[in-house]
Amino acid sequence: MTIPDAPLRIAVIGNGFMGRMHTHAWRTAPRFFPLGREIVPVVLVGRRADGAAAARDLDWPEYATDWREVVGRADIDVVDICTPGDTHAEIALAALAAGKHVLCEKPLANSVAEADRMVDAAATAPGVALCGFSYRRTPALAAARAHIADGALGEIRHVRAQYLQDWLSDPDAPHTWRLDRDRAGSGTLGDIGAHSIDTAQWLIGDDIAAVSAVLRTFVPTRPPMVTQAGIGGVAGAGERLPVTVDDAVAVTARFAGGALGVIEATRLATGRRNANRIEVNGSLGSVAFDFERMNELEYYRADDPAGAQGFRRIQMTEPEHPYAGAWWPPGHGLGYEHLFTHQVVDFVRAIGGDVDAAAPSFAEAARVQRVLAAVTESAANGAVMTPVHRRDDEGRAS
Amino acid sequence: MTIPDAPLRIAVIGNGFMGRMHTHAWRTAPRFFPLGREIVPVVLVGRRADGAAAARDLDWPEYATDWREVVGRADIDVVDICTPGDTHAEIALAALAAGKHVLCEKPLANSVAEADRMVDAAATAPGVALCGFSYRRTPALAAARAHIADGALGEIRHVRAQYLQDWLSDPDAPHTWRLDRDRAGSGTLGDIGAHSIDTAQWLIGDDIAAVSAVLRTFVPTRPPMVTQAGIGGVAGAGERLPVTVDDAVAVTARFAGGALGVIEATRLATGRRNANRIEVNGSLGSVAFDFERMNELEYYRADDPAGAQGFRRIQMTEPEHPYAGAWWPPGHGLGYEHLFTHQVVDFVRAIGGDVDAAAPSFAEAARVQRVLAAVTESAANGAVMTPVHRRDDEGRAS
Amino acid sequence: MTIPDAPLRIAVIGNGFMGRMHTHAWRTAPRFFPLGREIVPVVLVGRRADGAAAARDLDWPEYATDWREVVGRADIDVVDICTPGDTHAEIALAALAAGKHVLCEKPLANSVAEADRMVDAAATAPGVALCGFSYRRTPALAAARAHIADGALGEIRHVRAQYLQDWLSDPDAPHTWRLDRDRAGSGTLGDIGAHSIDTAQWLIGDDIAAVSAVLRTFVPTRPPMVTQAGIGGVAGAGERLPVTVDDAVAVTARFAGGALGVIEATRLATGRRNANRIEVNGSLGSVAFDFERMNELEYYRADDPAGAQGFRRIQMTEPEHPYAGAWWPPGHGLGYEHLFTHQVVDFVRAIGGDVDAAAPSFAEAARVQRVLAAVTESAANGAVMTPVHRRDDEGRAS
Amino acid sequence: MTIPDAPLRIAVIGNGFMGRMHTHAWRTAPRFFPLGREIVPVVLVGRRADGAAAARDLDWPEYATDWREVVGRADIDVVDICTPGDTHAEIALAALAAGKHVLCEKPLANSVAEADRMVDAAATAPGVALCGFSYRRTPALAAARAHIADGALGEIRHVRAQYLQDWLSDPDAPHTWRLDRDRAGSGTLGDIGAHSIDTAQWLIGDDIAAVSAVLRTFVPTRPPMVTQAGIGGVAGAGERLPVTVDDAVAVTARFAGGALGVIEATRLATGRRNANRIEVNGSLGSVAFDFERMNELEYYRADDPAGAQGFRRIQMTEPEHPYAGAWWPPGHGLGYEHLFTHQVVDFVRAIGGDVDAAAPSFAEAARVQRVLAAVTESAANGAVMTPVHRRDDEGRAS
């Protein structure tokens, strides 16, 4: 374990989109939040031999290409894993075994078996282990969760989540590792559906007990990619490659406490760039959110006077709102990156002993993995309602 | 059959909310649309002995209490059925047998067997028979359908429909006939879910081939109603009555042509008064609609220039839009009632031989009934994907 | 005067867009509101010799071409004036002199002098005289006014009104009588700016004391119209005609009670079909409205708890809302025409002695006319702040 | 002048809200944009003797309290001025005289005379001098400007700008330096109205030639502040202090090219936290923007097909959009702070010789100052239309 108040020395594994995002978060967090200890970025690990220049641009003092030589180093306290899902388990297990704190991008793993090994390792390791379901750090969603936890919405009946993107809408959008089951584990399901499932469970503080699900691949082959650009890239000539993951997923979920969940995720919702939406209806009120307008929360209270009831559009930039007080005056919004800054803040607080900040744990993230497994199982069995299997030692999601 | 260009003499059966709405539509239609023949409201039929005064207020020259004495009268050309679903079949069969034109409110019947009898009768009767899925007459939805039929959206992948109301959100909202399976056939499913299903099939011009569904009743008993008010009413003392229908339904649908449908309907979505929403995503574009903003259509085209792509908020009040040209200048919106006026217009046009206006036929409405039956069957069998059974003589939905 | 509870016999003068709208309102009102007396449409007056067929389509038993022969007839109780503004005074004076009730479309007249003569006549005539500022009958605006009158918004600081249309945006849109000062009195100012001014004064219950204003004509000539269509029409060949009225008006207003008004109206706001918007900010709250979403009111309360403050989007379709209870269930919206139905209802109630319904009186409408005159005067004098002249006998706007 | 490609060494003067924002921008810019040279933050200057700790938290290696000792230092290349307006001129003149590059927060100065001295100094100084109208760096606004410059909106008729805040809505909100004319120069006018004026002129590429204006102070005294918090603070007991600046401003503007501007700014629009809105209507199209939804641009094209015309809601997160390509994938929004990062990027590019990035120059910012002066003059003279005086040597705004 690190010495309290000693500097926290960081290694980020993975230099893709997420590695860059985490890098920025580590740099930004200490300038806006009182963390109680210094953050020292030490080394960025990538697979490309020629990644050193990019690492320098991101202000990393050191670049390495083999994570195995990094995760156990004595000058590292935190291992932050931003690689594709197929490598999470191996890296996390090594880092935990070396006594490091571990922040692991979602999904926790590509299978329940892997996830369980990670949960077991985290249970006995000295380091703090968290999974990066970053959307939990959206002020609007954190506030919505607080309202629900306070009972402001009464008994929860409906959870309605959609995660709609469109970067695969064009059938000639190129193939990427995200469309390869071996690398990505699943397609839309694990990539963005996992966010919806985690958000849904966390928001209402209840686990999904059973699911009925359909998976669908609309475009079975795609041209090879010649240049990566953003999350997609530019297609090239050559034989089309098979898409071995789902393009879309539809889930009807039964929560343990009785709520009815309807969850849909797709990358082919033409015109929807990143519509990560969720709505919760309770007996006393409702909340609704769309990440395309991430600085707003829609909030309805049934106890507003008759004739004056309506969804309030709340700008989530007030000092009273989670995380928001550290930033700008009301009405001056935040962006996507701030979720990652908040995540780093909570992770450091968790390392400092703040129990509330220490979520989602690997165990909680593994429960998402179990829902994903039940989704896959249900889809393979004609959508029949399928229980989410739980470990014997498992409690209820916090 | 009536003589061409002779006056069209109308009987409306049912003097509840829908009877009133249809009455207004019959009065309004000829003042704004060239119908080619005079409309003559003749008689309103209600069950209450004391309904004559209300009928007079609605400008009916005659009031009757027994539909059996009305539907065969020689001075009636049209029988417009606005009663609860359990009486539709009997009235429609009698009216068709008497050679009348029949407009029947949705759902067509409370069972597939009843619906089939109505289809068979309509097939051989001389009169025109249409079912009142009124939302088809929303300018925005009619325009959306035209875009889809023209191929503007390309290959259709997603249909996403929600019909959210909240008048049963309060567990002490009173019991009504709509919560009694014997009267209503089903709950949310047949009342508003049927609208979503019809709209979805009609919009993309394709049938639902199979469904996975969950039905849920959140509030199993409710207090008796003492006074009706609007669609709900005022609860009284006395023993709570059992709710024998569903409060909510969630459906994952496979369309014959491959599209994936996610349909949800509920009367407990607190804060959502009448959010009848539907979105369709195709390979080339998307449309989105919410009846709470019925004068708007959101329309996305993937062939807009890069950087200038976005959902257009189109005000559906232009002369180019379906039905809208008969009304007010651009930007001066329509309301709920206008759907019923448009329905009357199309019905009269269908009587006049306009094939395009003659929809939905009883056969088409029966297909909705078959989807409802498959939903019920799937829900009873653990949500397993269940085919929608079709009649041997049935073609594809137009 | 008419006998209480006797039928109310109606003549509508003018068979253009407004005549058609008023006709429909007279037909519709008694079917949805308990008026206490029968409404009997008697005669429609138009200028075209060949208007009889159109009148029949609108269900008028009689058509006439000379209003002078109609307004004094013994079988007429109400004269409803829907002609261009240059004829309002003459018709209204004749009708009032004949003891009729008069409903006169806005603006009341084309000049203050005319308006004053009408006010004087109305003061001594036995009939009820109202001016048709129809937007007052929007449920959202009527509810907003009630909130303000109740003090829910505290001290009023800001009134921000925009009336944006675009049917003259194209420089080749044809010339109409609305662009001819002799016929129309003014352009955008009197046509739609007058609505904003009336709404602003009525909403906050205060008079505009002084104005600074700019008038602007962007397109000085237009091609002649060959075919009328809607509010505009189709342009033809031939010499372009001069536009002798304003295209746009901008007003900064000082209310008697201290509020600051910013009012803008134009017919060249490309893409804005009928954006009649108004927002009021008080020390305790705000309301905002846009007629393009006429079934919604945005309502903000500063006493909502910190962190849960936001504009509520209220659907103005609840039984508690003005007028709305007579119509459909919550969430089933109204359209433009319903304002006119509500106006007829209030007019009939005013005839029956309901003081609250008897607004705007001719005196109140003349005050709008005085503001228009001050606007014109200010614009002619370099926008200098110009007092609104009031009659000596005038009280404060109710 | 600095050596090309040498590190750029930064001093920020002012450690309030803006100093913190600029600090973050200097740190962030090089990590996301290829600047071509290293950025080296050297010293933060504040007035408080005890500011060193806060400076350290912001990652500044050095803290100083006297700007006079800093602006001429040999180890400084850039002086970034984030102090209140009354000190801008003195600091900027000293820095320019010392050969530094100067970035000065808006408004450029508290008077035209000061501004002119700054313009003159900048004209002959070797350093680049820019003024920080940060909203120009919003991707949506930069894209809107490009559309207008390309002629996509045709001839511009209307510019409609509102800058609405509400932090002074409560009459007991405390007094701050922003309410003191000696410190702030003016109130809402210079603070946020200046943004609207600059945005309006820059967006359509035209200067305001004359203005008619009203200034208003609704709350003449306020309690003293005991604790600053965000942009406002906590009020204390003690005698109320006089507010010597405007609370609100309303401007009607005539642009040199003929467009009509209506501009309103206030800090008492209850419920509007930071509604910096602008809409431009041209003969061929329109754009509309609201900073509360800063990641969206509304864009209307009159050449869209009839029936399919509507404002497109464009998410300004595409690679094609100004600045956006350096950040996250489409649909992953930016926040307020990113404007300042973009500003730093453009400033560094301007230093590197990029003429397009070198705006607004001091001369351009002085023109905003001249409009402010004309506003003040007009308001003092009964709102009479007042020309904006220009320097003899001045060209047209770029």
Spatial distance between the Cα atoms of D330 and B141, rounded to a whole number of angstroms: 29
Q: Is D256 on the interface with C (CB under 8 A)?
A: no
Question: For residue C216, how far is the Cα from the chain centroid?
Answer: 22
* Residues A165 and B278: beta-carbon distance below 8 Å: no
Contact with chain C for residue A312, Cβ under 8 A? yes
For residue D144, which residues of chain B lie inside 8 Å, CB to CB? none
The predicted structure's pLDDT at residue B3: 59
Q: By the CB < 8 Å criterion, does B307 face chain D?
A: yes
Query: What is the full per-residue pLDDT of chain D (398 aa) written as tens digits?
Result: 446 679 999 999 999 889 999 999 999 999 999 999 999 999 999 999 999 998 998 889 999 999 999 999 999 999 999 998 899 999 999 999 999 999 999 989 989 999 999 999 999 999 999 999 999 999 999 999 999 999 999 999 999 999 999 999 999 999 998 999 988 888 999 999 999 999 999 999 999 999 999 999 999 999 999 887 766 788 888 899 999 999 999 999 999 999 999 999 999 999 999 999 999 999 999 999 999 999 999 999 999 999 999 999 999 999 999 999 999 999 999 999 999 999 999 999 999 999 889 999 999 999 999 999 999 999 999 999 999 998 866 654 44
* CB proximity C169 to D under 8 Å: yes
The confidence band for A277, taking pLDDT boundaries of 50, 70 and 90, is very high
Q: How far is CA A168 from CA A221, B4, B350, in A?
A: 11, 55, 43
* Whole-number Å distance between alpha carbons of D204 and D185: 27
pLDDT at A200: 98
Q: Where are the domains of chain B?
A: 8-135, 138-335+355-387
Q: Is pLDDT above 60 for C132?
A: yes
Does position B258 have pLDDT exceeding 50, yes or no? Answer: yes
Q: Which chain C residues touch B28 with a CB distance below 8 Å?
A: 24, 27-28
In a 3-state reduction of DSSP, which class is residue D394?
A: coil
Contact state of A329 with D17 under an 8 Å Cβ cutoff: yes
CATH architecture of the domain with range D138-387? 2-Layer Sandwich (3.30)
Residue C330, chain B, CB below 8 Å: the answer is yes
Share of chain A above pLDDT 70, in %: 97
Helix (H, G, I), strand (E, B) or coil at C380: helix
pLDDT of residue D1: 46
Which of D228 and B11 is assigned the larger pLDDT?
B11
Q: For the domain bounded by C140-334+362-387, which CATH number is listed?
A: 3.30.360.10
CATH architecture under which domain B138-335+355-387 falls: 2-Layer Sandwich (3.30)
Query: Is the CB of B31 inside 8 Å of chain D's CB atoms?
Result: no
C332 to chain B, any CB pair closer than 8 A? The answer is yes
What's residue B171's pLDDT? 96
Q: What is the pLDDT of residue D393?
A: 64
Which stretches of chain A are DSSP H helices? 17-32, 52-57, 88-97, 112-124, 139-149, 181-184, 188, 194-204, 337-351, 362-380
Q: How confident is the model at residue A34 (pLDDT cuts 50, 70, 90)?
A: very high
Q: Do C308 and A321 touch (CB under 8 A)?
A: no
Q: Which residues in chain B have Cβ-Cβ distances shorter than 8 Å to A218?
A: 157, 258
CA distance D259 to chain C (A): 9
Q: What is the distance between the alpha carbons of residues A262 and A267, in angstroms, rounded to a whole number?
A: 17
Cis before A360 (ω within 30): yes
Lowest mean pLDDT across B240-249, C37-46, C231-240: C231-240
In contact, A264 and A162? CB cutoff 8 Å: yes
Torsion angle in degrees (nearest 10) through CA of C122, C128, C132, C138: 140
Please tell me the total number of residues recorded for chain B in this structure.
398
Is pLDDT of B387 > 70? yes
Q: pLDDT category, B210, cuts 50, 70, 90? A: very high
Helices first, then strands: H and E counts in chain D: 10, 19
Given this model, what pLDDT does residue C341 score? Answer: 98
Higher pLDDT, A51 or A398: A51
Q: Is 60 exceeded by the pLDDT of residue A72?
A: yes
Q: C43 to chain B, minimum CA–CA distance in Å?
A: 16
For the ranges A155-169, A341-355, B231-245, D249-263, the lowest mean pLDDT is seen at: B231-245
Give how far C386 is from chain D: nearest CA, Å.
Answer: 9
Task: State the Cα–Cα distance between residues A332 and D291, nearest whole angstrom.
Answer: 8
What value does the mean pLDDT take over residues C57-61?
90
- State what percent of residues in chain B have pLDDT above 90: 85
State the pLDDT at residue C57. Answer: 85
- Contact (CB<8Å) A281/B268: yes
D313, D317, D321, D323: best to mutate for the B interface, most B CBs within 10 A: D313
Tokens representing residue A124 in the block:
């006995």
**What's the gap in Å between the CA of C30 and the closest CA on chain A?**
25
Q: How confident is the model at residue B122 (pLDDT cuts 50, 70, 90)?
A: very high
Q: Does D218 touch chain C (CB under 8 A)?
A: yes
Query: From CA D13, how far away is CA A111, in angstroms rounded?
Result: 54
Average pLDDT over residues C285-313: 98
Kindly state the tokens that stand for B280: 């369709």
Output the CA–CA distances (angstroms, integers) from residue D130 to D92, D98, D350, in the order listed: 10, 16, 9
Residue B395: what pLDDT?
A: 53
Query: Given A58, A165, A331, which is nearest D292 (Cβ)?
Result: A331
Q: Looking at domain A8-135, which CATH architecture does it have?
A: 3-Layer(aba) Sandwich (3.40)
Query: Within 13 Å, how many C-alpha atoms sit on residue D190's CB side?
Result: 28
pTM of the full structure: 0.96
What is the per-residue pLDDT across C108-127, written as a single tens digit (0 to 9) for each? 998 999 999 999 999 999 99
Per DSSP, which regions of chain D are E strands? 8-13, 39-45, 63-64, 78-81, 101-105, 129-132, 156-164, 208-216, 221-222, 225-229, 232-235, 241-242, 248-255, 260-266, 275-282, 285-290, 296-301, 311-315, 386-387
Cβ contact C336–B315 (<8 Å) = no
Q: Does B314 touch chain D (CB under 8 A)?
A: yes
**Mean pLDDT of chain A, nearest integer:** 94
Instruction: State whether B312 and D320 contact (CB < 8 Å).
Output: no
- pLDDT given at position A228: 77
First to last CA, chain B: 26
Identical fold between D8-135 and D138-387: no
Residue B2, pLDDT > 80, answer no
Taking the Cβ of residue B336 and every Cβ of chain C, the question of whether any pair is shorter than 8 Å is answered with: yes
Residue D15's contacts (CB-CB under 8 Å, 6 or more residues apart) are: D44, D45, D46, D47, D48, D51, D54, D55, D82
- Give exposure, C357-388, as e/b (b: 16+ Cβ within 10 Å): bbbbbbbbbbbbbbbbbbbbbbbeebbbbbeb
Per CB-CB distance under 8 Å, the chain C contacts of D147 are none
Whole-number pLDDT of residue D390: 85
The answer, for B172 touching chain D at a CB cutoff of 8 Å, is no
Q: pLDDT, tens digit, for every residue of A309-335?
A: 999 999 999 999 999 999 999 999 999
User: What are the chain B neighbours of A232 within 8 Å (beta carbons)?
Assistant: none
Query: What's the ipTM?
Result: 0.94
pLDDT value, residue B119:
97
Which pLDDT band, with edges at 50, 70 and 90, does C237 fall under?
confident
Residue from the list C143, C304, C312 with its beta carbon closest to the beta carbon of A311: C312
pLDDT digits (tens, 9 = 90+) for B299-316: 999 999 999 999 999 999
The torsion angles phi and psi of A140, rounded to 5 degrees, stand at -60, -45
pLDDT in tens, A131-147: 999 999 999 999 999 99
Q: What is the mean pLDDT of chain C?
A: 94
Give residue A232's pLDDT: 74
Phi-psi region of D145 (alpha: psi -120 to 50; beta: other; left: phi over 0): alpha
